[in-house]
Amino acid sequence: MRDRATRVGFLILLLAVWEILILLHLWPTYIFPSPLSVGQSLWGGFSDGTFPIAIGVSLRRIAIGYGLSLVLGLLLGLLLGRVRLVDQALGGVVLGLQALPSICWLPLAILWFGLSETAILFVVVMGAVLSITLATADGVRNTPPIYIRAARTLGCGGSRLYRDVVLPAALPAILSGMKLGWSFAWRSLMAAELLYVSLGLGQLLSLGRELNDMSRVLAVMLVIVAIGLSVDRLIFRPAEERTRERWGLRSLA
């Protein structure tokens, strides 16, 4: 409760400082808009429908891109974690590729897929898939052997062992990979939309810059932060906490 009060208090202070700086007229408002005009832009964007449309487009892309990353990442991670040969061959490549910011794939994606939805999805997938893969591989590799032995004595083997034991046992690790993957995917999508003409929140940003509408730019940034944060707080964090608790991994507070 006190944490929250501190946080809210600090935000109010920040807004106050911002407003004071505006009142001092240090910079022209097209460079440094007031909190009020950003608020107005936010309201305007929502009431004239531009924000909801852009949000819809971006969310659709992230849903498809992230969904693909999830499927690919789980499969690849399972292979890396369980098949020695695949790990030896591919493990280094996956680790190396993770050092590459996914937006660097955009030129290549445009050459391969043209100026299309596919190019954007490719960048999003490249952003998210590696961290999901690595986390899954890690979780699968570290499945407590006792679970596998117990399952085998109960007659469980083959693909069933993976579905019913190895994957569930790795779920806490997989979830943190999914969380990380989500934030990479969201950043990649925004970067790709910024650089490449298409609907979506990223394009609203570059449009705002072209029109010198700084308060709109800031308003869109707020929307991007809000979406990124709420998915993390409303979906991933509770899911992660619940699994950690149930799996008995939560440290005793």
Partner 1 sequence: MSTDSAKLEVVRVVKSFRSRRGSLLALDGMSFSVAPGEIVCLVGPSGCGKSTLLNILAGLEPADSGQILVDRSPIRGPGRDRALVFQEAALFPWLSVQDNVAFGLKVIGTPPAERQARVAQFLNLVGLAGFEKAYIHELSGGMKQRVALARALAINPDVLLMDEPFAALDAQSRDRMHDELQSIWAQTGKTIVFVTHNVREALVLGDRVLAMCARPGKVKREFRFSLGRPRHMEDHTLVDAAREVLAELQDEVAKAMQEEVEHERPGH
Residue 142 has a CB neighbour count (10 Å cut-off) of 12
Establish if 245 lies at the interface with partner 1 (CB under 8 A). Answer: yes
* Between 19 and 241, CB nearer to partner 1: 241
Q: Examine residue 146 and tell whether it contacts partner 1 (CB under 8 A).
A: yes
State yes or no: residue 154 binds partner 1 (CB under 8 A). Answer: yes
> Nearer to partner 1 by C-beta: 31 or 146?
146
Q: Is 32 in the site for partner 1 (CB under 8 A)?
A: no
The reply on whether position 150 binds partner 1 by CB under 8 A is yes
- Asked if 168 interacts with partner 1 (CB under 8 A), we say yes
98 SS3 class: helix
Which listed residue (26, 155, 210, 251) binds partner 1 by CB under 8 A?
A: 155
By three-state DSSP, how is residue 95 classified?
helix
Which residue's CB is nearer to partner 1, number 23 or number 251? 251
Alpha-carbon distance of 62 to 110, in angstroms, equals 18
Instruction: Write the DSSP assignment of 82-137 as a string of letters.
Output: H-HHHHHHHHHHHHHHHTS-GGGGHHHHHHHH-SSHHHHHHHHHHHHHHHHHHHHH
Quick one: 149 or 237, whose CB is closer to partner 1?
A: 149
Rounded distance between C-alpha atoms, residue 235 and residue 175, angstroms: 11
Q: Tokens 């591989």, residue?
A: 137
User: Which CB, 160 or 233, lies closer to partner 1?
Assistant: 160
Q: How far is the CB of 172 from partner 1 (least distance, A)?
A: 10
138 touches partner 1 (CB under 8 A): no
Q: Does 247 bind partner 1 (CB under 8 A)?
A: yes
Give the C-alpha separation, 174 to 139, whole Å. Answer: 7
Amino acid in the structure at residue 87:
D
Query: What does R_g of the chain's alpha carbons equal in angstroms?
Result: 22
Question: What are the residues binding partner 1 (CB under 8 A)?
Answer: 146-147, 149-156, 160, 164-165, 168-169, 171, 243, 245-248
